[in-house]
Structure 1
Amino acid sequence: MADPEIAAVEAANSRFYNAFETGDLDLMHEVWAGGAFAEGVSCVHPGSPMLRGRDEVLRSWALVMANTPYIQFVLTEVHTEVRGDHAVLTCEENILMADDSENGFLAGGSVVSTNLFVKEEGEWRLWVHHGSPVLGGVEEDDDGQD
């Protein structure tokens, strides 16, 4: 039987990615923790410095979404652990992006993410998001050595 708390965290995580994909700033505001957690909210966009505080983080998402014509995520390697009122979800974001040029240039990439959730007024809210790009790695030789 599936753990209902893990399912609830994964649903909150899905809302986060849905908000980004659809450019829904209102939903993005609902996803992130507030109240007593607002000051500790933090976010690291891939390749960017740490942002701290709910207002700064949400401002950054408004800018990112305003400048992202199309993005789609396929999440893999999702692992979720719940400890009381805190939960950690790690995943690989397999990303497809397009621009708004005439040819609609498409690009893909991968980001590994750690999302920390807290339970706020009975609902799981995102408290920390850290995304790190996965760069083209060194392929292993047949003997398993780099």
Structure 2
Amino acid sequence: MTELDVRDVEVAHAEFYAAFESADLDRMGAVWADGTYADEVVCVHPGWPLIRGRGAVLRSWALIMANTPYIQFVLTDTQIRISGDQAVVSCAENIITAAEETEIGLTSGGSVVTTNVFVRTETGWRLWLHHGSPVLGREEEVAE
């Protein structure tokens, strides 16, 4: 694991969230692995069943983006581990999202713990697996 690898994974990870926040499906498509990895792509959105295959995963993002007027992520507790041509990024997503039915229009969207696995391809690091799980209780309550 080199500093350059870590930086490149950080950039790929940040691009995933930037694509989501900007609701840019083309940009999101560029983040995900393709070619020989396309059939192996996996995504688990919080509360959703497992989705396999690049096409199905990108369709799920299109659906989410079409139904999300605004979303912003504040990532915390980010850790990157690289082993060979795979990188695992774990983090907490602290989400701010729009809620049309509220008076001010914005509301906290809660927290999701996430694991993102990237694979090194000929074109750089590409997302291979995204798994998000909602955090239902505060950490202090879970530890007790």
Same fold, judged at TM 0.5 (above): yes
Q: C-alpha root-mean-square deviation of aligned residues, in Å?
A: 1.6
Alignment of 1:45-56 (within 5 A): 45-56=45-56
The residue identity in structure 2 corresponding to 1:134 is: V
SS in 2 for 1:73: strand
| Correspondence for 1:75 | 75
Which residue of 2 is the match for residue 108 of structure 1? 109
| C-alpha displacement of 1:106 | 1.5
Deviations along 1:96-128, one digit per CA (max 9) or x if unpaired, are 011334721423310000000001114000000
Secondary structure at the counterpart of residue 23 of structure 1? coil
Equivalent position of 2:38 in the other structure: 38
For 2:127, the equivalent position in structure 1 comes to: 126
Q: 8 Å contact 2:16–2:31 — kept in the other structure?
A: yes
Mark the runs of 5 or more structure 1 residues left unpaired by the alignment: none
| Alpha carbons of structure 1 residues 101 and 6: separation in structure 2 relative to 1, 3 Å | same
Question: How far apart in 1 are the matches of 2:100 and 2:25?
Answer: 20
Q: TM-score, normalised by structure 1?
A: 0.90
* 8 Å CA contact retained: 2:96, 2:106: no
TM-score relative to the length of structure 2? 0.92
- The separation in 2 between residues aligned to 1:108 and 1:29, in whole angstroms, is 24
For each residue in 1:24-54, what CA deviation from the matched residue of structure 2 results, as whole angstroms up to 9, or x when unmatched?
A: 1110000000000000000000011100000
Unaligned runs of at least 5 residues, structure 2: none
Residues 138 and 58 from structure 1, CA distance in 2 versus in 1: closer, same or farther, beyond 3 angstroms? closer
